[in-house]
Amino acid sequence: MKNELKIFSGRSNPLLASKIASFAGCNLGEISIKTFSDGEIWVKYEENVRGCDVFLIQSTNGPAENILELALMADAAVRASAESVSIIMPYFGYGRQDRKDQPRVPISSRVMIDIITSMGADRIVTMDLHSTQIQGFTKIPFDHLYSRMVLIDAITSLGFNPELSAVLAPDVGSAAMSQAYAKRLEMNFALIDKRRFAPNESKVSHLIGELEDMDVLIIDDMIDTAGTTVSAAEAAIEKGAKSVTAIATHGVLSGPAIDRLKNAPIKTVVLTDTILIPDEKKLKNMNIVTVADVFGAAIKRIHNGESVSSLFEF
């Protein structure tokens, strides 16, 4: 007899969680999460989870309370005798701090994994990691999903002529992903050589490729402060690009991001809903597409003991 499926949401992105549960064929479970006046978080499941396959949905973007809230949810589920606890993390916070690149600094990605696994979680599911090596930080199953399934459809709907379009990698780190998109969309490819001189601060050094009279697509895993995206867009326009469209999975949109995007020569910004984007950060030229069906399909396959990887081969 198969265990009952139950899906619960933290407070970081309840709208996406509701959509994921709908695609998985169930309603969100009842859970109470409160923050006391002293800042401490309190969690309680308002329904029985004994013997159930429990899935907890929580992106771990800032504030840092989101990761602590997730850890408490996982611990409560384990202590309530859930048969399995799977963490659905649409956006993996601290994913860029994946190595010891200076003396006396932590490997913060590993710390996040250790927190989750030490709470007794059985599985982690996330999307478009900044660095795929993070999967090696844990011995429990770690499913890495891709947003390109929905982003390809979103790009296609914009009606680009492949022969007159180019995918521009905003830095060397995103070159492999951008090349994959260019190949799939049958578009041209260009690359920016960027020099980073501080966190969230970088400068375009060279642009390799032909962009004259082209519709340019800048594709990256995230837009954080938007410095990389905007500088790439400006470089593309200087090279004679006809239009620029920015595409990213995770809309972190921190600090000066919105002001930069407002003033940038970018026609359209396409983001997914892995991170909840508040109304004050939504722009007229911003198109937000949902990844709920991707996570919903993954949850159903995990619950049914089916292959997840075969579903997302592309």
Quote the CA–CA distance of 176 and 187 in Å, as a whole number: 14
DSSP 277: -
Quote the CA–CA distance of 213 and 236 in Å, as a whole number: 10
CB 110 within 8 A of CB 80: no
Q: Is 38 exposed, middle or buried (0-12, 13-18, 19+ CB in 10 A)?
A: exposed
CB 8 within 8 A of CB 73: yes
Strand partners, 145: 127
Angle, alpha carbons 60-61-67 (nearest 5°): 35
- The catalytic residues are 194
